[in-house]
Amino acid sequence: MISVLVTGKDSQLAQCIRDLQENCPEISFDFKNSKELDITSEQSVAKTFKAKTYDYCVNCAAYTAVDKAEIEPQKAKLVNTIGVKNLALACKRHNVVLIHISTDFVFDGKKKTPYTEEDQTNPINVYGKTKRDGEIEIQKTLKRYFIIRTSWLYSNHSNNFVRTILRLSNEKEEIDVVNDQIGCPTYASDLSVFICKIITLNSEHYGIYHFSNEGKATWYGFAKQIIEYWQLNLKLNSVNSNEYITKAKRPGFSVLDTSKAKHTFEIITKEWKSSLYKCFLSYDIQ
């Protein structure tokens, strides 16, 4: 039995991993929320790693409030950089493989073709910088790690763009959505399958990997597809980023090249619209 610690128990990704448990009988998951395991505390991390033997640690804990990070950068750094360093050091001491979830926001968005793992990072907001710095702490500390950069994550759990659009459809008749930021919506359930595959293969192909669904979209295009699948009565107004001012800058283009992950682990990544439809069906079931 493979023993896996999962931080950020209440995050959408951790909940999607929990949904997979029945399909992964060879894995024993131990989910911890921030009260049970505070990754920003060296003592809390040390206590957790001493109490039980783990083979893997999947870090789903993160500070993800992109705009809020601009006004409380130290809080973002505490979770996304210092907390990650604490986990990396504990994994080193206890011979645990770390699987860490990072983001497309480590890039500046100036490229016009999908970003590869070899492209230079250059975050343009506090959130992206703290996530990039967390990656650096892992690389300085560990040899046995997987850093998985993903993009525009959504699911039927927790807070995300899909749930926001569904909520707004009950509150408003029309909304403005930016149509000049390009990325790829990624179903957290698909990412959780990829993570479990890495674990069950006991892979030693360590390093940085990009994982997202296939294709690309703007936030406006993403919202339009949500409205179509859920048949929402909500009018969309297409706006440019300079018309929709936010505290944090966003990359104009952050599509990820997933070739390395597909080749290394022999996986087929799903087209984003088909995965969104699968998410839609899961809402109907509930």
pLDDT of the residue at 283: 81
Query: Tokens representing 286?
Result: 């509930």
pLDDT of the residue at 245: 87
| Per-domain residue ranges of the chain | 2-160+186-215+256-269
Contacts of 245 (CB under 8 A, 6+ apart): none
Q: Check if 206 is active-site.
A: no
Helices (H) and strands (E) in the chain, counts: 10, 12
Fold (topology level) of 2-160+186-215+256-269: Rossmann fold (3.40.50)
C-alpha–C-alpha distance, residues 8 and 83, integer Å: 12
- 124 touches 108 (CB < 8 A): yes
Model confidence at 33: pLDDT above 70: yes
The average pLDDT across 115-128 equals 98
**List 56, 63, 115, 127, catalytic entry:** 127
pLDDT of the residue at 284: 59
Query: Tokens representing 135?
Result: 């990656």
pTM (predicted TM-score): 0.97
pLDDT for 142-198, tens place per residue? 999 999 999 999 999 999 999 999 999 999 999 999 999 999 999 999 999 999 999
- Tell which residue, 68, 193, 198, has the closest CA to residue 126: 68
